[in-house]
Amino acid sequence: MHVATARPTGRGHLPVTLLAILSMIAAVGLGAAGAASAAAPVAYPGSVPPWATAANDAGTTPSDETIEGEMYLSLRDLPGATALATAVSTPGTAQYRHWVGPQQWIDRFSPTPRQYQGVLAELRAKGLIITGSPKSRLFVVFRGTAAQLGAAFGTSMHLYSVDHRRLAAPATPPSLPADLASSVAGLILDQGRQLTRPDSAVTRDAGTAAGPAAGPAATTRTTPAQTTASCSAYYGEHTATMPAAYGQTSFPTSLCGYVPAQLRSAYGVPGRGSPVLAAAGRPTEGLTGAGQTVAIIDAYASPTIVQDVDTYSQRHGEPPLTTYSQRTPPVSYDLTACGLPSGWQGEQTLDVEAVHGMAPAAKILYVGAFNCAGGVDVALSTILDDRLSTIVSNSYSTAGEALAADAVRNTVNQHLQAAAEGIGLYYSSGDSGDEAAVLGSPSANLPSSSPWATAVGGTSTGIGPDGAIVLETGWGSNLDQVQVGPSGTSGYAQPLPGTFSNGAGGGRSTLFAQPDYQRGVVPAGLAQGKRVSPDIAADADAYTGELVGLRPIIDDTTLATGPYKEASYGGTSLAAPLVAAQMALVQQLTSSTIGFANPTLYGLHRSAPATFRDVVPRATPFALAHTSPLTGTTTLVTGDKDTSLTVARGYDDVTGLGAISFDILRRSAAG
């Protein structure tokens, strides 16, 4: 998964005094540029990330190091944009689901072309290279050396030690001339967004460092037991005898990875002749997502994505990928810093195969970002500015909410645009639980913590031989390796449940106030006046995950690939595309657009809470036996223990409103 940043220290808003300054400058207007230029430069304290502290300072950034920056322009009517997004998304309002088109939104709320051209001209005049300029004119992505950025914005670029990495950031708040500042809401020059990582997880051995697609686990120094746990095609197919734990010695084995037909069955996707379809007047049609488009955003692009999905589909009785298209940038940046194309290939493949498996006739549009920072903003705006899809799956996050306040504000602006246009944004909630281990205290993760995003949490899901769910808990995996002691008896390397491995992200935001749609549903003691995530959940446990097939990249320079392989993947990276695909099925069935789903989902929970499949605490621990095919070591995987996040009756901060089923989504779509 992603690596960590320090805990954020403030809300995602400019200080009141700075807002007053900007308001006065804006009142002068561009027509008085000559007079305004004599004013003192305007500083942007929100541009300094919370981890850029004296304690972390590792010295001046090399003057020739290239750094990405991003400049965010002000919306012309932020209150109006917020009101519109709320009205079109809230059941019962006169404007509910009366979306606006992209150009309508841009004409009404985006900065003017004159303002935007002035910003572009200023950046080019300073010798900076423009790498991203969306139609919406909300921001500009640019690149320059540390020396250029320091001179252009009146600051000094330093390196800071952040979780075993050194990241560049301004040592003091950068500034802009007053006439330019009248158009600019925020500015970032730091490398913190390079910490964005995909939220995918794979099965691994106890003692292996957590992370996405972590690869082969290192052989441990302990002597492995002779226990071998063969993976199961369905929950409970095989069991393994293990050292005593939780009052038993026999445990189901981990799943080899579910195939699409199992997941469709588990979530109740209706086929031909289903009563659900008969009630909708379509008794002979199966839901396939026909007529719908699901967009997927990740960084870079797999060179073998279509070939891989077609191979996978042929092996598992699914139709070929005939409705796929992608938009990828001609140039990619920050490859090593962002985890390389090989680090994102598994994520893209998982997303595409999950959507195709759940909604096999839906069109899939993949938009690859040119890096994991500003490129992600460009990719999202590519979709929003032409409304290329009404459903967007985003399986990535930062660690916590420790981004510069200016970057957070731009994220919210993009989300407001999506909501106004009737575009639902589905974000993975994260794979490292409450993040306290790396941040020092619990935190939700951006961008899923945005009040305008649907955050997708995770479950561990047991699907039986008939395709029905027989077990469902919150996702929180803890690993304890089986080993043989000096006397020859088997035991566990640590006290149960072992070491936390991965689990769904979530919890209380440090930045965002509680949205109205959560009031009365999220317990007051949990929210304490703040936005809480996730909103809903689906299978995310790699030990009960989806089987994924790909030809892995073996050379990130040439993008050469190796032979086709299959493995079980999980993470909220699996949950997010599963939810997005089911939303496509709902839209097909109802011939409607869901848009930003949260107000509808929470409203449904108030009126008919029983329609959600609530994930509740288990009376006895949930555990699986897993043997690594790489090292032969056997591990007891104890689930439903997700750091400080806990499953509860009703809303909880692991699974949100509960686990999804097609019937839930059909009802929510009906409003």
Each residue's pLDDT tens digit, 282-312: 656 688 999 999 999 999 999 999 999 999 9
Mean pLDDT of 195-202: 76
Does residue 668 have a pLDDT over 90? no
* Whether residue 641 sits in one domain with residue 576: yes
Does residue 481 have a pLDDT over 60? yes
Confidence (pLDDT) at 206: 52
Residue-wise pLDDT for 120-148, tens only, equals 999 999 999 999 999 999 999 999 999 99
pLDDT band at 670 (very low <50, low <70, confident <90, very high): low
* Whether residue 287 sits in one domain with residue 153: no
Range in 216-225, 234-243, 462-471 the model is least confident about: 216-225
Does residue 19 have a pLDDT over 70? no
Classify residue 86: in a domain, yes or no. no
Q: Cα Rg for the chain, rounded, in angstroms?
A: 25
* Whether residue 261 sits in one domain with residue 175: no
* Whether residue 576 sits in one domain with residue 505: yes
Confidence (pLDDT) at 17: 36
Mean pLDDT of 474-480: 96
Mean pLDDT of 9-32: 34
Short-list 577, 573, 645, 655, CA closest to 616:
655
* Whether residue 634 sits in one domain with residue 555: yes
CB 106 within 8 A of CB 137: yes
Does residue 340 have a pLDDT over 90? yes
Classify residue 246: in a domain, yes or no. no
Q: Which of 157, 178, 195 is the last residue of a domain?
A: 195
Does residue 223 have a pLDDT over 50? no
Distance CA 472, CA 355 (A): 21
Does residue 213 have a pLDDT over 50? no
Find residue 491's DSSP bridge partners: 483
Of residues 669 and 32, more confidence is placed in: 669
Residue with tokens 């197919």: 237
* Whether residue 381 sits in one domain with residue 470: yes
Does residue 226 have a pLDDT over 60? no
Short-list 453, 464, 476, 470, CA closest to 380:
453
Does residue 23 have a pLDDT over 60? no
Confidence (pLDDT) at 30: 33
Does residue 161 have a pLDDT over 60? yes
In 555-597, which residue ranges form alpha helices assigned H by DSSP?
A: 572-590
* Whether residue 301 sits in one domain with residue 154: no
Residue-wise pLDDT for 420-471, tens only, equals 999 999 999 999 999 988 888 899 999 999 999 999 999 999 999 999 999 9
- DSSP-derived letter for residue 40 is P
Of residues 111 and 196, more confidence is placed in: 111
Classify residue 263: in a domain, yes or no. yes
Of residues 613 and 478, more confidence is placed in: 478
Q: How far is CA 605 from CA 542, 665, 671, in A?
A: 29, 12, 12
* Whether residue 191 sits in one domain with residue 258: no
Range in 52-61, 133-142, 199-208, 320-329 the model is least confident about: 199-208
Residue-wise pLDDT for 539-561, tens only, equals 999 999 999 999 999 999 999 99
Mean pLDDT of 182-211: 74
* Whether residue 455 sits in one domain with residue 318: yes
Confidence (pLDDT) at 664: 55
- Sorted by sequence, the CB contacts under 8 Å of residue 28 that are 6+ apart come out as 35, 36, 182
Q: Which of 164, 195, 226 is the last residue of a domain?
A: 195
DSSP string computed for 138-174: SEEEEEEEHHHHHHHHT--EEEEEETTEEEEEESS--
Distance CA 512, CA 531 (A): 6
Confidence (pLDDT) at 284: 60
Confidence (pLDDT) at 101: 98
Classify residue 297: in a domain, yes or no. yes
Mean pLDDT of 189-195: 88
Q: Is 224 helix (H, G, I), strand (E, B) or coil?
A: strand
Residue-wise pLDDT for 566-597, tens only, equals 999 999 999 999 999 999 998 998 899 999 99
**Ramachandran area for residue 292 (φ above 0: left; ψ -120 to 50: alpha; else beta):** beta
Q: Which of 158, 180, 195 is the last residue of a domain?
A: 195
Classify residue 173: in a domain, yes or no. yes
The tally of domains found in the chain comes to 2
306: CATH: 3.40.50.200
Look up the pTM and report it: 0.89
- Work out the mean pLDDT of the chain and round it to a whole number: 87
* Whether residue 256 sits in one domain with residue 184: no
- Sorted by sequence, the CB contacts under 8 Å of residue 490 that are 6+ apart come out as 225, 226, 227, 242, 243, 482, 483, 484
pLDDT band at 187 (very low <50, low <70, confident <90, very high): very high
The strand ranges marked E within 383-453 are 391-394, 396-397, 424-428
Distance CA 651, CA 657 (A): 5
Does residue 78 have a pLDDT over 90? yes
* Whether residue 595 sits in one domain with residue 529: yes
**How many residues belong to the chain?**
671
* Whether residue 163 sits in one domain with residue 264: no
Short-list 405, 349, 350, 339, CA closest to 376:
339
Confidence (pLDDT) at 286: 80
Does residue 14 have a pLDDT over 60? no
Does residue 169 have a pLDDT over 60? yes
Dmax over CA atoms of the chain, in Å, equals 86
Which domain does 347 fall in, by range? Answer: 251-669
Classify residue 105: in a domain, yes or no. no
Residue-wise pLDDT for 355-412, tens only, equals 999 999 999 999 999 999 999 999 999 999 999 999 999 999 888 888 888 889 999 9
Classify residue 24: in a domain, yes or no. yes
Confidence (pLDDT) at 484: 84
Classify residue 639: in a domain, yes or no. yes
CB 326 within 8 A of CB 348: no
pLDDT band at 21 (very low <50, low <70, confident <90, very high): very low
Which of 50-54, 226-230, 266-270, 290-294 has the largest mean confidence? Answer: 290-294
